Amino acid sequence: MPELPEVETIRRQLAARLQDRLIREADSHPSEKFTPAKEAIGTTIQGLRRKGKYLIAPLDDGQELIIHLGMTGALAIASEVPDNPYIRAWWQLDRDEVLVYRDVRRFGRIRCVTAGQYDTIPTLAAQGPDALSPEFTPEAFYQALRKSRRRIPTQLLSQKPVAGVGNIYGTEALWIARIHPAKRQISRPAATRLHGALVEVLEAGLANGGTTLRDYRNAEGDEGSHQHALACYGRSGQPCLRCATPLQHRTYDARTLTFCPQCQPR
């Protein structure tokens, strides 16, 4: 699933090209997950921002077009709608260009809502501060983690203590911070380490254009390269880059997580 670096990479590639563009027409797959795309017809896009894994395009009628890429979603600008069975929505723009949303597995979703009113998007309404925002501070992160007894990776994936983190970057950050994925509570110093590790891995992923393990492509159709820099995720059985102990994996809360038994003691 695209996480913060992948979604932000797409945002940066599209923002300037979508600024002040009129949506002349739109259409979508018949699923109600995608039909809200048509509610933006006749509006002008006023920008493109991101919170966590959501792309948010303010419109000139007071609405926001909100896109979540799910597991396999991708956005691109083309001269026409491609002949592709996985196109789930498209928006005909002025100057003879089309914004196209492709999603093989249909886990993404589109909404058009009054600006700031996210009651129909519970995961957006309830999520915590964006991981690269000034509001994401070590102390706020620690206090948010204290509110739950769920395992730390599960808390991260909930998006409530911080928005934008998924399994890949969460696994990497836990390895850097030397925190075992089975832990349910961590100390303030450990939370501070994990905070710094999250920012570090997300910024590195963004610098490398995201992580492509299979499906992810940016708005220009290119793969990211951060998969070549992963230290822990997907490396079970290989030596830890820090201590050479073979990495292990375990399933916690229905998620398979990789860790170093030496560097990340339980």
pLDDT given at position 78:
97
Mean confidence (pLDDT) of the chain = 97
Q: Looking at the predicted structure, is the pLDDT value of residue 242 above 90?
A: yes
pLDDT given at position 68:
98
User: How far is it, in rounded angstroms, from Cα 141 to Cα 12?
Assistant: 26
> For the chain, which residues make up each domain, given as ranges?
4-125, 138-259
pLDDT given at position 226:
98
Chain segment 13-66, per-residue pLDDT in tens: 999 999 999 999 999 999 999 999 999 999 999 999 999 999 999 999 999 999
Helices (H), 47-187: 122-126, 138-146, 152-158, 167-177
Q: Which amino acid is at 171?
A: T
For residue 21 the two structure tokens come to: 């563009």
pTM as predicted? 0.96
Q: Looking at the predicted structure, is the pLDDT value of residue 1 above 90?
A: no
* Among 224, 230, 220, residue whose Cα is nearest residue 207: 224
Chain segment 102-153, per-residue pLDDT in tens: 999 999 999 999 999 999 999 999 999 999 999 999 999 999 999 999 999 9
Angle at alpha carbon of residue 255, lines to 213 and 167, rounded to 5°: 45
Mean pLDDT to the nearest integer, 56-80: 97
For residue 61 the two structure tokens come to: 């009628």
Angle between helices 188-207 and 138-146 (to 10 degrees): 120
Helices (H), 37-177: 122-126, 138-146, 152-158, 167-177
User: How far is it, in rounded angstroms, from Cα 220 to Cα 198?
Assistant: 27
Contacts of 182 (CB under 8 A, 6+ apart): 151, 250, 252, 266
State whether CATH 1.10.8.50 applies to domain 138-259: yes
For residue 231 the two structure tokens come to: 């230290």
User: How far is it, in rounded angstroms, from Cα 126 to Cα 56?
Assistant: 16
Angle at alpha carbon of residue 61, lines to 58 and 66, rounded to 5°: 35
Contacts of 219 (CB under 8 A, 6+ apart): 9, 10, 13, 14, 74, 75, 76, 77
Report the DSSP pairing between strands 73-78 and 97-103: antiparallel
Q: Which residues are catalytic?
A: 2-3, 53, 255
State whether CATH 3.20.190.10 applies to domain 4-125: yes
Q: How many residues does the chain have?
A: 266
Q: Looking at the predicted structure, is the pLDDT value of residue 69 above 90?
A: yes
Give strand pairing partners of 98. Answer: 78, 92
CB 154 within 8 A of CB 253: yes
DSSP conformation class of 202: H
**Percent of the chain clearing pLDDT 90 (strictly above):** 99
Phi first, then psi, for residue 123 (nearest 5°) are -70, -30
User: In a 3-state reduction of DSSP, which class is residue 160?
Assistant: coil
